[in-house]
C-alpha cells in the first residue's frame, strides 16, 4: 500500500483501545471540507512511508498498543489492503477501518476473511446529494450495499457525518438519521481547513 503517514498513539479513534493510525494515500472523492488534502490529491503526495518502517514500529509496540486504525485517503482503493490487514491481525492487533463505502466488494472481502473488527463509514450527505459534497458522481446503491454489509456484519461499527453547514441542513441530518435507522450514527462538526492543518504535521512525524 501507499502509506502517507502514521499517528503513533490515539485513545479516541478506536473506541476502547489504545491504537495507532495508518493513513493511506489516494481517494476517489474530493470533499470540499477535507482536512487531509495531502492524502487525497496526487500532486500534494509526499514520499510514501516504507511499509517495513510501519511493521518495525508496530512490532516494538506489541503489548502496549491494542489496535490499529487504517484510514486515509480511502484505504479500500488499495488492492493489497487485505494482505496488510491480515498481517496486523497476525501480530495480535485489533483492526479498525475508516472508509467512504465506495467499494463494497472490498468491504465484503475484509469481513468474510475476518480481517476487520470495527468499521467506520463516512456518510457525506443524503444519498441524492452526494455529488455536492464529494465532487464526483456516486451510485447510491453502491453506498447502500456498503451500509447493509456493515450493519449485518456482526462487527462493531459507526456511521458518521461531517456537518458542513454551508451545504448541509438540519433536514439533511434528519434524513441521514433515518437512513442509519437512528443506530450507531454520529455527527461531527466541520472545522475550517486552516484550523485543521495542525493535524497534518503529525502524519509525517519521524517513526
Over residues 6-33, the mean pLDDT reads: 95
7-11, 29-33, 113-117, 158-162, range with the lowest pLDDT: 29-33
Dist CA 75 CA 98 (whole Å): 8
The enclosing domain of 55 has a CATH number of 3.20.20.70
pTM of the complete model? 0.90
**What is the domain range of residue 199?**
3-204
Per-position DSSP letters for 3-62, written without gaps between them: EEEEEEEESSSSTTS-EEEEEE---S---TT-S-GGGT-GGG--PPBPHHHHHHHHHHTB
Residue 164's SS3 state is coil
Give the integer Cα–Cα distance in Å for 21 and 23.
6
pLDDT reported for residue 192: 57
- How many domains are contained in the chain? 1
Q: Please tell me the distance from the alpha carbon of residue 71 to that of residue 204, in angstroms, as a whole number.
A: 14
Q: What's residue 196's pLDDT?
A: 39
Amino acid at each position: 500500500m501507499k502509506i502517507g503517514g502514521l499517528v503513533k498513539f490515539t485513545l479516541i479513534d478506536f473506541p476502547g483501545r489504545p491504537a495507532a493510525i495508518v493513513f493511506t494515500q489516494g481517494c476517489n472523492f474530493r470533499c470540499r471540507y477535507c482536512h487531509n488534502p495531502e492524502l487525497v490529491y496526487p500532486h500534494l503526495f509526499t514520499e510514501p512511508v516504507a511499509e517495513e518502517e510501519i511493521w518495525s514500529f508496530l512490532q516494538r509496540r506489541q503489548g502496549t498498543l491494542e489496535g490499529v486504525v487504517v484510514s486515509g485517503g480511502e484505504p479500500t482503493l488499495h488492492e493489497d489492503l487485505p494482505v496488510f490487514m491480515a498481517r496486523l491481525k497476525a501480530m495480535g492487533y485489533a483492526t479498525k477501518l475508516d472508509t467512504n463505502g465506495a467499494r463494497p466488494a472490498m468491504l465484503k472481502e475484509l469481513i468474510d476473511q475476518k480481517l476487520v473488527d470495527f468499521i467506520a463509514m463516512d456518510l457525506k450527505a443524503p444519498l441524492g446529494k452526494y455529488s455536492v459534497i464529494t465532487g464526483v458522481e456516486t451510485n447510491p446503491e453502491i453506498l447502500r450495499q456498503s451500509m447493509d454489509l456493515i450493519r449485518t456484519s456482526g462487527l462493531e461499527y459507526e456511521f458518521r457525518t461531517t456537518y458542513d453547514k454551508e451545504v448541509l441542513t438540519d433536514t439533511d441530518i434528519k434524513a441521514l438519521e433515518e437512513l442509519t435507522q437512528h443506530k450507531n450514527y454520529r455527527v461531527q462538526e466541520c472545522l475550517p481547513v486552516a484550523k485543521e492543518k495542525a493535524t497534518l504535521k503529525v502524519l509525517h512525524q519521524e517513526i
